[in-house]
Chains A and B, each alone.
Chain A
Amino acid sequence: MKLEIRGLTKRFGSFTANDAIDLTIEPGEIHCLLGENGAGKSTLMNMLYGLLDPSEGEILVDDRPVTFVTPADSIAAGIGMVHQHFMLVPVFTVAENVMLGREQTRGLGVLNRAEAAARVRELSERYGLRVDPDRLVEDLPVGVQQRVEIIKALANDAQVLILDEPTAVLTPQEIDELMQIMRELKAKGTSIIFITHKLREVKAVGDRISVIRRGKVVGTASPDTSEAELAEMMVGRSVKLTVDKDAATTGEVVLDARGVTVVDPRGHQVVKDVSFEARAGEVLGIAGVQGNGQTELIKSLLGLVRPAAGEIWLDGRNISTHGPRESLEDGIGYIPEDRAHDGYVGSFSVRENLVLDLYRSDDFSRGPALNREAIAANARSRIEEFDIRTETADSPVSSLSGGNQQKVVVAREFSRPLKVLIASQPTRGVDVGSIEFIHKRIIEERDRGTAVIIVSTELDEIFGLSDRIAVMYDGRIVGTVTPDIAREDIGLMMAGAHEPAEGGAA
């Protein structure tokens, strides 16, 4: 099946998310859509999938124009989509999820689960997608859930499969498996639209690459184009893919976690007996696939959850029982992984957000009242220093772009003298320009003698910033290594293998 897009445009009010996009997906090709977060990739795909109505332009299937009003129309036309956030019902079995919407029945609307399970088995054999149809989806690892999504699309006879940022949640090994599956599907005649912002993956699996920037297709490239060239097309100027930094001058142990164990509200141990030290003047990276206890570990360091066992020491003081406010006063800075949830108050102004954890200090308050002039002066200097692009200091933070929102959080955390900086996914959903800037500031903070802990699921970020890397898997630190370790080895560790015998153990 040939899918063609002509002059497709989508406007939200005065904002043009997609501007006259032309694309052709040939039968049996893997077509990569490369672009930064917010470039308009998802908007485009949602129009293809009947979730958004185009403002202008047309979609052609095998040279015939079609209109997709609902996802059902797209499915009927042979388009399948694997969403970035899986569209699976967690409490249903694999077979139930696959059958949902076009259920096999024994007549009179009574479900025929046996037939549905047989269909899943058949597809899973034909395409090499191992999965048990009778398992509950919520019990499956993320990589397997993704396979279920793919099977779901194939069960609807999809001939064009859209994969929206499919690798964000996978281990390096699972990514390899996914790419194998993609090649398999291609060999059987399925076209794939592969959406990503990761250059390495595009080069590994793509047949053709279309680069999207600010809602426009800015060019197409072949997979043998260099990463630097692709990055330049994606961002619109030359970018440095590495972080400039000198060797760390490591000082005393600042933060010392001893046997920290965290139990979640459902009674599961999510952090299991984790011990590590963070020293002044070094960056300790915590690598691992999402959901292996990093979030909970960080929360326990900050006092947001009380560890069930173990102790946390800061500068020789036991801070295990400290709550968040005491942690702030102890000199711990925090860049949360979900900034919209934990990092700022969206409806508050930039000015207010810049003093969210400082307003109590004498600099910004007079008794119970806020010192408005001091807060305004602080905002002026931070906005300039951190290059925060905002109309005024009075604009709500929710009106800023992702990168500038993150800069507000970073600017605020760097406004206090820090002993430890904990940054969780500091550049998630941030444009490349802002990534460079935030990385530079983090390294500067390290060189000032702060112990920096970076949690990231992006290996590039971990390698770029860290002086030492601790790898977490299933709630434990499975090993601590130096950044000269091979990518494959750290990938194995992220999947649960222990550190290689001769790996650069620190």
Chain B
Amino acid sequence: MGRMSVIEAPEATTPQEATVRDRADVARQVRLVVTFGLSTAILVYFALAIEDPQVTYILGERVTQEFRPKDLTTTWVSWLAIATSLVALVLAALDRYPRRGAGLALALLVGVMFYLGFLMWAYTDQAGAFQAAIANPIPGTMRIATPLVLGALAGCLCERAGVINIAIEGQFLAGAFFASVFSSIAFTSLAFIPLALVAPFGLLGGVLAGVGVAAMLGLFALRYQVNQVVLGVVLVAFASGLTSFLLGQIPGDRKATFNNPMILDEIRIPVLADIPLLGQALFEQTILVYLMFASVAFVTFLLFETRWGLRVRSVGEHPKAADTVGIKVNRVRWQAVLLGGVFAGLGGAYYTVGSTGAFDREVSAGTGFIALAAVIMGRWHPIGATFAAVFFGFMWNLQNQLSFVDKLPGELLGAAPYLATIIAVAGFVGRVRPPAADGEPYVKS
């Protein structure tokens, strides 16, 4: 040791900084070790708990002529999952876990393997005569994620401009209701609209309703500077009450006139729709889903590559700086809020003309708030928010699919997506930086 210190003598002059490790770095390592330790332990439990390692799976959502159940022996899947998780655990424990992109990719891989390991356990050893097969999760995920993505885009636009939008749920409800009404009326009363456009006409109703709620948000938040959190909650209650009231006002014999919309047709994109697993879910969809894809690209481009986007972000970060270079802060905020209303309205329309048809009370069932969580988990970036929305959609779909398997109690299963939301927002996202002036009204001094 004595000789060593002579050799290393020059090091003594370097600053002591290196000897004190940043707390955040230590916390990160602890978090990783705990996460992967837990995942490994749980996966081992899953693997050991399997008695009969035989399951069936299908590449589609349900058994059809095209998709027939195939057999699978789970053992190797379980152990591969354990091995992956263990590698990540060892890397984390040795403080050799990769950073940035590679780290994220490894975490994602562990996540996928955990999901598979869990599936193996969930679908083996089913009691009862009926044996559920593991099904393709992508179509269901897409169904749930589509409105979430659209709602999250609305959230991104508003909050990047510095207006907190908690009212996405309200925009969903209004959008869903008026989409149904517009489509129904177009079918029964507006003969000049060709049949093919009756359902898309519903989208127009959804957009107008979404913009309408956005206008109320803008009026009270920007003109009257009401606290935006309180305002958002009030607007949700208002939209919920209003749509329920209007629904109740439709007489029983007039339901066909006002609340019996046509549903959007699926449009198949040749070739792409034939991709296994993904194709049908992504490329044999309604116009609304394609609009959703386009909207993500559009909003991203708008925010980060255009003059308007630069101004929107500047008023959300430092409105006074924007003001001093001649940008009209509240005008830009109004524009962003109203444009957000378009996407939120489209998201709402999904719940009626985009999927099931007639409007029912609380048809969006609180998903507007999940879209808000996606905004935060996606760090106020349209693409991040999209991935977050897809993750939430995936969790919900998983819950739906597992309800056919009797392994987990239904109530617990029902709470699982919400639990996943909290863990995702709190754990993965940690401390993120919202736009600096988010929620702060701008008043000229």
Contact = CB atoms under 8 A, between A and B. Distances in A.
Nearest to B301: A110
Interface string B306-323: 111111011001101111
Contact of B307 (A70, A103, A156): A103
A55 to B, nearest CB: 16
B20 to A, nearest CB: 5
Contact of A269 (B17, B308, B310): B17
Interface stretch (B21-29, B37-45, B239-247): B21-29
Contact of B326 (A52, A71, A96, A263): A71
B276 interface: no
B45 to A, nearest CB: 34
A92 B320 CA distance: 15
A128 interface: no
A109 B311 CA distance: 11
B445 interface: yes
Given A105-B307, A110-B306, A266 B24 contact: yes
B300 to A, nearest CB: 13
Interface residues of A, number: 41
Contacts of A102: 325-326
A91 B314 CA distance: 9
A97 B326 CA distance: 13
A72 interface: yes
A87 interface: yes
Contacts of B20: 261, 263, 269, 273, 308-309
B321 A87 contact: yes
A90 B22 contact: no
A109 B306 contact: yes
A267 to B, nearest CB: 3
B21 to A, nearest CB: 9
B98 to A, nearest CB: 19
Contacts of A241: none
B22 A263 contact: yes
A267 B306 contact: no
Contacts of B324: 49, 51, 71, 81, 83, 87
Interface in A49-65: 49, 51-52
A111 B305 contact: yes
Nearest to B28: A267
A188 B313 CA distance: 35
Given A71-B325, A89-B317, A89-B321, A267 B310 contact: no
A268 B310 contact: no
Contact of B23 (A75, A103, A156, A263): A263
A156 B318 CA distance: 20
Given A51-B324, A81-B324, A101-B327, A88 B305 contact: no
Contacts of B326: 70-72, 75, 101-102
B249 interface: no
Contact of A51 (B311, B317, B445): B445
Contacts of A263: 20, 22-24
B5 interface: no
B15 interface: yes
Contacts of A111: 305-307, 309-310
12 contacts: A49-B324, A51-B445, A71-B323, A71-B325, A71-B326, A87-B325, A89-B313, A89-B314, A100-B325, A101-B325, A105-B307, A109-B308
CB-CB nearest 8 A-B residue pairs:
A267-B24, A72-B326, A101-B325, A87-B321, A267-B22, A103-B307, A109-B307, A89-B318
Given A92-B314, A100-B310, 11 more contacts: A51-B324, A72-B325, A86-B321, A89-B321, A89-B322, A99-B310, A100-B311, A109-B306, A266-B24, A269-B20, A476-B15
